[in-house]
Structure 1
C-alpha cells in the first residue's frame, strides 16, 4: 500500500506541546518522522508513542541541516513539514487526504499551507495572524532547505521555489509569550545570527532577516530599524529588497507613520506601477487612514494591474502573487460587505474562488448571497463550473459549507455525491438529519455520540434536537462532560416563562449563538417562541447585525427601525443603517446616522472617511475634516487628505 504522506518534524524539549500535535495528525499522516536535536525532557518518549521513526541529530545552529535530515527518512509520496507547537483541526483530515490523492505531482511544484499564529500573553488573550508558508511538497524530487535560519525550499539546482496554495490550515502557538520565554527562542536565534556575523559579517539580507525576527517577537521599532538598515544597503539586484520594503511600509502603517510609508512606497515601488504591490501598499496606507473609497480604488488597481500583467507574463508580482489577487480581492469583499453591495460580494468572491477553490470563507460569502437570490439548479450549475474536476474533496467541502449555511437541498445533493460516506463527521450527519427533520436517522446517530459530550456545538445541537423531536432524552445532562453542564443550563433556562435582562446581558453570546443556529436550521417556529422572552437591546442589535451581514436586508431594516424607535441602535448598527440609506441614495438620512456613530466613536477614522464619501453638506464636511485631521499629526502632510 502506497505511503501517501510523511509528516516531518524537528524537535527539542517539546514535551508540553508535542502530544497535541501528534494526536491531531495521527490519522492524517501515513508516517511521522521526528528528528530530535537534543531533548532532555520526555519529548522522545512522547514521540515514540506515535511513531517508531524517531532519530537523533546533533544541533549545529542550522535549521536547514536539521530539516533536511528529517527529509532523508521520508518515504511518502508527499511531505508535510510541521513544528511541535502546531496542530491541525482533525475534522479537516479527510479533505486534506483527498487533495493529496487527487493532485498531480509536478516538477518543482510546492504548496503553501495557511498557518494561523497566535500572539500575546495567552491563547485567550491573543491576536491572530494568518500567512501562507511553503510546507507541502512532493518527495524524491530533490527539494531541500537552505539557509541556517528563516530557511527556504529550493529545487535540485538550488533555485528558490514559489508555491501554490493547498487547502491545509495549521494552528501555531509558538509565538505566545509563555512559549517564547520558556523555549528561549530569541536567544537561540541570536546565537545563529552571531555565528553568521562572526563567519562573514552581516549582509544587508541578514539585517532583513533580523528584522523579520524582531517582527515575530512583536518588537516593531527594532524590526523597522533593521529593515531600514537592510534597505539602505540593498541594491536593485537584491530580489529580497521588494520584500523588505513591503514589510517596512506595513510596519510604518501599523505605527501610524503614514508619511514614511508613502515615501518608501513611492521611492521603491513607483517605478514598477505596472505590478500590483505599489497599488496594494497605497490601499493599506489609506485603509489605515480610514479613507475607504481611496483604499478601495487602490486595491482595485492592484487586482487589475495583476490581471493585465498576467496576460503577457507568468510572473505578475514583485513580492508575492497574493498582493495582486487574494489580498486586494479579500479587501474588496470586505468593503462590499460594509456597503451592502451584493453584486460586488458575488463578483469578488467568485474571483477569489477561481484563484483558490479551497477558500472556504469566500465560498461561504458567495453561497450566502446566491442562496437568497438564485434557484437550486442555478447554484449547482455555477458550482459545477467552479469545481469542474468534480473531485470528491470538492463535494465534501461543498457539502460541509452548504450544511453550515443550512440549505437542506444543497447539503443533501452534495452529500449524495460523496462516494465513501463512512468518513463523514458524526456532527455533520447529525446536523443533516436535523435539517431534514429525520427523527429516526437522528436518533440512530445520536446513539453513536461518544459520552461524555465535550463540545459546545454538540451540546447545542442535542438541545435543539430535543425540542424539535420533543424528546428530552436526546439532551440529557447525564451525557455531558462536567465542563459542559453550565452551558447546558444556560440553554435550558431559555425554556422558562421569563428570562431576566440580567441573564440576557450575562449570556448574550450563548443566547445569540442558539438563535442564529435556529435561523440556519430554518426552525423559525422555535425562534419565534424564544424571541419574545429576549426583547433586550443587546439581543436585538446582535440579530439586526446578523441579518445585515447575511444579506437579509428586509429583516435587518425591520430590526433597525425597532431599535431606532427606542434610541437603542448600537454603534455598529448606526453605521449599518447609514450604509443602507446611502445605498438607496438617501444621503441626508445616512449622514444623520453616521454623525451619531461618530459622536459615539469620535476616534474611528473609518467613519470620517465614509462621511467624506457620502455627505453632501460642505459645512459639515469642512467641520469634520478639522476633527479628522486632529486625530493624527500625519494627516495634514498627506496630499490626498489635503485635497479632501
Structure 2
C-alpha cells in the first residue's frame, strides 16, 4: 500500500487483514501525522518515497519491496471483512502463480446521503502474482500491465473490499479533489487523452459536483470507448448520475432506453427509471418501476445473485423509501407505513425511516399507540440509544406527548443538545425550564446555530428581547434571524415591515406553528401577510399535511390573484389526486404561464392528464418551444 497522512483510517485497514497476510509493505509519500507510527505497530517494512504526482510510480516502488508469492493492493481508507480476506487467502492457496492471470474483486464505496446512490460498487484489479513482470502505469487511476507488453486474462473473484474514502468529509480533509485534478491537468498538458482518461476526468469532476464540466469528458469516453472495456459501464453510470444531478431527466431516460437496455432488469436501473418518472410527475408509472425494482432485488437476494448493477442502495433501500414517500405525498398513509415497515425490518438502524415513520404516525395516532407500535417494530424501550434517538426525533417533529413519553425514559437530560432542550421547553410551554437551560449555557456564549434559532423563537414567544443579546452576533446562518427578532421586539418598529425579512419570517412562522405556539403565530401572521410569505407558508403546511390551513391560505391567494407557480403546481396535484382533472389542468397551465421557462414536468403532467387532443397538441407545441431537444424523446412522444 501507499499512504500519506492516513492516521484516521490506517489502523482499521491493517487490523482487518493482519492475521491473513504474510507481510505488509507500506510506502509513505510524505506523511506529517501519526501514519508511520501506526504502521510500525504492524510491520517494519515502511519505506519513504518522494511524491512526484504519480500514483503508478509510488505503487511500483511498493512492489519492489514485496517478497511474497501474491500481491494484494489496498488503500488506507479501505478494509476487508474477515470472510472476504480469509476466503481470498484460501482461494490463492490453491492457485498457481502465472503471468496469464490478474484477479478482480469488488470495491464497495460508501457515499454521503447527499449522493443518491448511497453505496456504489466497482470491479477493480487488486490481486496478481509477484515477480512475474506486472507493473503499474498512468499517473492517476493507475492500471496494471505486463512490462513485456503481453496480455492477460481477468478472473473475477467473489470477494469485497470496503471503501470509505468517498465520504465528503474525508475528501475535503485530504484535498483529494485538488490533488487529483492537478495530476489530470499535468496529463492534459503533456499528452493526448484517450477515452479512458476522459472517463476518469469526467468521474472526478462529477464527484466534485461540476456536472457541466464533467459531461463533455464523459461523452467523449462514451463515444470513443469500447463497450467491452471494464471501465465503460462505470462511465455510463456516471453519465446517468450527472444527468440526474443536472435535472436532465429526459437525457437520463434516453441513455437507459437507448444504450443500457441489457441492464434494465437490474433493481438499481429500475430504481433510476423510477426516480426519473417521479421527477417528471409520472407517479403511477414510477410506482410500477419501484415495485418491480424491489421484487427483483428480493428475488436476486434469494438466489444469491448480484443485487445491483452498480449501487446496492438503489437496488434495495431506495425503491422502498421512494414508494413510502410517494404514497405519503398522495396521503395514502397506510401504504406509506407499509413500505417504511419493510425498510425498518431490513435495517432497524435506518434513522431517516425512523423520522418519517414518527412523522406519518403523528398525523393520526396517539402518542401511546405510536410508542407501542415502535416498540413492537424496533424494540425501542429495550435499547437506551433508541430511546434517546426517539426523544430527539419526537422533539424535532413537535410531538410533545410522544417526546414526553421518551423523555421520562432518558438517563439524563444531558444526552440532549442545548437546542433540543430549548425546543422541548418551547413545546411544553415551560418558560422556567427554557430560561434555566439558557442561563446555564449563556456564560459560554451561544455559538451553535440550532440553539440560536431556538433562542430567537423563545424570545418572540415570551417577548424577551434581552435573550437576543446572549447569542453570538457573528453567526452567518442566523444573523438575519437575530436582526429580524430584534426589530420585531422593538415597540417603535412594531408597525414596520421589511420585505427582505420575508424568508426568515416564513421559517419562523412555520416553526411557531409546528411548536403549537398558536397565540404568537396568530399575532404575527397579519404583520407578515405578504403574498410571498403566504405562498411559502401554504406550501410548507401542505408538505407537512396541515391541509386545512394550507387550503385557507391558497384560497386567500386565489381570491387576490396572488398564487405563485409553486402554489399553482401544488394545487394542480391536489386536484388531480381528487379526480378534479379540469381544475388541475387550469392550475398546471397557470404554473407554466407564471414561469419564463417552466420545468418540463409541468408540461408532461398536463399532457398526461389532458384528454382533449387539441389542448394537448397546443401544450406539446409549447413544450417543444421551451424544451426543443427533450420534445424529440420517445417518452414525450408517447404522451
**Do these two structures clear the TM 0.5 threshold for a shared fold by scoring above it?**
yes
What do residues 81-135 of structure 1 show as CA deviations (whole Å, max 9, x unaligned)? 779xxxxxxxxxxxxxxxxxxxxx874599865436xxxxxxxxxxx64653699
Matched ranges for 1:151-550 at <5 A: 160-161=159-160, 171=169, 174=172, 183=178, 185-188=180-183, 208-216=199-207, 218=210, 219-225=213-219, 227-228=221-222, 232-234=226-228, 238=230, 242-251=233-242, 265-266=256-257, 269-283=260-274, 286=277, 291-313=282-304, 315-333=306-324, 335-336=326-327, 339-388=330-379, 390-419=382-411, 421-450=413-442, 451-466=444-459, 468=461, 473=466, 475-477=467-469, 480-483=472-475, 487-495=481-489, 503-550=497-544
Q: SS state of the match for residue 372, structure 1?
A: coil
> 1:372–1:304: structure 2 CA closer, same or farther, 3 Å change rule?
same
Per-residue deviation, 1:404: 0.4
Match of 1:582 in 2: 576
Q: Name the CA distance, whole Å, in 2 between partners of 1:305 and 1:578.
A: 34
> Residues 179-207 of structure 1: CA distance to partner in whole angstroms, max 9, x if unpaired?
789x4531235669999x99xx98x8777
SS class of match (1:515): helix
Cα separation, 2, equivalents of 1:567 and 1:501 = 25
Residue-by-residue CA offset, 1:30-62 (whole Å, 9 max, x unaligned): xxxx998437xxxx4xx68x9997999534744
**Structure 2 CA distance for partners of 1:596 and 1:492, relative to 1, 3 Å:** same
| 2:601 maps to 1:609 | no
- Cα deviations across residues 609-643 of structure 1 (Å, max 9, x unaligned)? 21123234333222212222344444454334323
1:9 to 1:327, Cα distance in 2 relative to 1, 3 A: farther
- Within 5 A, what are the aligned runs for 1:30-109? 37-38=29-30, 44=32, 58=49, 59=51, 61-62=54-55, 107-108=83-84
Residues 1:106 and 1:376: Cα distance change in structure 2 (over 3 Å) = farther
Counterpart Cα distance in 2 of 1:501 and 1:246? 56
Provide structure 1 residue ranges, at least 5 long, that are not aligned to the other structure.
1-7, 13-17, 23-33, 69-79, 84-104, 117-127, 136-145
Q: Which residue of 2 aligns with 1:132?
A: 118
Mean alpha-carbon deviation: is it higher for 258-267 or for 389-398? Answer: 258-267
C-alpha change, 1:132 and 1:278, in structure 2 (3 Å) is: closer
Report the equivalent of 2:638.
643
Answer with 1 or 2: which has the greater Rg.
2
- Tell me the secondary structure at the aligned position of residue 112 of structure 2: strand
Evaluate the alpha carbon distance shift between residue 555 and residue 609 of structure 1 in structure 2; reply closer, same or farther with a 3 A threshold: same
In the TM superposition, residue 358 of structure 1 has moved relative to its aligned partner by 4.1
Cα distance in structure 1, aligned partners of 2:495 and 2:112:
41
SS class of match (1:161)? strand
Structure 2 CA distance for aligned equivalents of residues 321 and 506 of structure 1? 45
Aligned to 1:138: none
Q: How big is the shift at 1:420?
A: 5.6
Scaled by the length of structure 1, the TM-score of the pair is 0.70
Does the 8 Å CA contact 2:348/2:378 hold for their aligned counterparts?
yes
TM-aligned CA distance change 1:587 to 1:499, over 3 Å: farther
Cα distance, 1:323 vs structure 2: 2.3
C-alpha contact 1:286 1:295 (8 A) present in aligned 2: yes
Partner of 2:13: none
Q: 1:272 to 1:459 in 2, by over 3 A?
A: closer
Corresponding residue of 2:71: none
- CA contact under 8 A between 2:425 and 2:431: conserved in structure 1? yes
**CA–CA distance in 2 between the matches of 1:366 and 1:81?**
38
SS of aligned partner of 1:518: helix
Whole-angstrom distance in 2 between the partners of 1:591 and 1:327: 31
Taking structure 2 as the reference length, the TM-score comes to 0.70
> RMSD of aligned C-alpha atoms?
4.8
Query: Does the C-alpha gap of structure 1 residues 619 and 511 become closer, same or farther in structure 2, counting only changes over 3 Å?
Result: same
